[in-house]
Amino acid sequence: MNKVKFSRIGLLFAATFALLFAGCKGSDYVSYTDTINVNGVELFYAAEGAGRPVILLHGNGGSHNDMETTTRQLAQAGYLVYALDSRGQGANPPLAEYHYKDMAEDVRQFIIAKGLTKPAVFGFSDGGNIALQLEVLHPGTFSAIATGGANIFVRGSLVPEFEESFLAQTNPNPLNIMMMNEPTMTVDDMQLIDCPALIMSGDSDLIRAEHTALIGNNIPLGEVVIVPNADHGSYIYHSRRVGDLILDFFNRIGYR
């Protein structure tokens, strides 16, 4: 009898706590996954949080799951986060050919379809390339850009030993073919980006620190951060380090 009473009390307490916790998040807090058709392809995405919008873009061959820790951090800090699976990757059907400009257009159409006004964006590796490419093609799309391990052109952007072996592939898959030939942006393109930009790479990254500096130093409101004790993705994959850097950046530029 006492056990039954205790169980009922426990269940009542748990239900009350869950309601209180949900109330603390606010009625506009969302957490869901969905697909959307944009630019002739279907994109899978996850949405979480409430507040000003932030787009998260993963690296080559990855998915939104790579960003789950960052998604949670930003959502809990008061942002509405959209973490996308890029075309042909993650939960999306694979494609025979890929181009960064197509992916940039995918993101632009996603922003329009969701009715977002000048979101911020964080892109890792390919995702960073996409974010920069979109702002170059459609200036004023973003309020703020953060990238990790991005490059704006291929030759000379990668550490020499990796670049040599990567470009020597004899039977690359479609995603690698893209990376071997793109992106094709320029320093002049970076000088046209007029929103704040946080350009990062690890101190043991595949992207040369000099290339990271070339990007950030040529964006008028850009800043460069070389993350210590980090390779290309160690501070990003399921790590709170990149989220802390992004939140500090947002606080400094007043993106709230």
- The band of 111, judged by pLDDT with boundaries at 50, 70 and 90, is very high
Looking up tokens 């392809």 gives 41
SS3 content of the chain, % helix, strand, coil (to 5): 40, 20, 35
Residue 14, in any domain of the structure? no
Task: Give pLDDT, residue 25.
Answer: 65
Domain-embedded: residue 149: yes
Give me the number of domains the chain comprises.
Answer: 1
Residue 3 lies in a domain: no
Give the domain CATH number at 142.
3.40.50.1820
pLDDT in the model for residue 11? 37
Q: Is residue 15 part of a domain?
A: no
- Residues in a beta bridge with 122: 56, 146
- Asked if the structure places residue 70 within a domain, the reply is yes
Q: pLDDT by residue (tens digit) across 113-156?
A: 999 999 999 999 999 999 999 999 999 999 999 999 999 999 99
Cα four-point dihedral sign 7, 10, 12, 14: negative
> What percent of the chain shows pLDDT beyond 70?
90
pLDDT at 216 > cutoff 60: yes
Name residue 256's amino acid: R
Would residue 17 count as lying in a domain? no
Query: What is the span of the domain harbouring residue 204?
Result: 26-253
Lowest-confidence segment of 23-27, 62-66, 224-228, 251-255 by average pLDDT: 23-27
Which residue matches tokens 């973003």? 142
CA 202, CA 16: separation in Å to the nearest integer? 45
Is residue 13 domain-resident? no
Cα–Cα distance, 25 to 227 (Å, whole number)? 32
Which residues does 69 contact at the CB level (< 8 Å), separation at least 6? 238, 239, 240, 243
Question: Does a structural domain hold residue 117?
Answer: yes
**Verdict on whether the full-model pTM lies above 0.85:** yes
pLDDT of 47 > 80? The answer is yes
Cis peptide bond prior to 172, omega within 30° of 0: no
Helix (H) or strand (E) holding 37: strand 30-38
Contact 233, 124 (CB under 8 A): yes
Q: 27 falls in which pLDDT band (50, 70, 90)?
A: confident
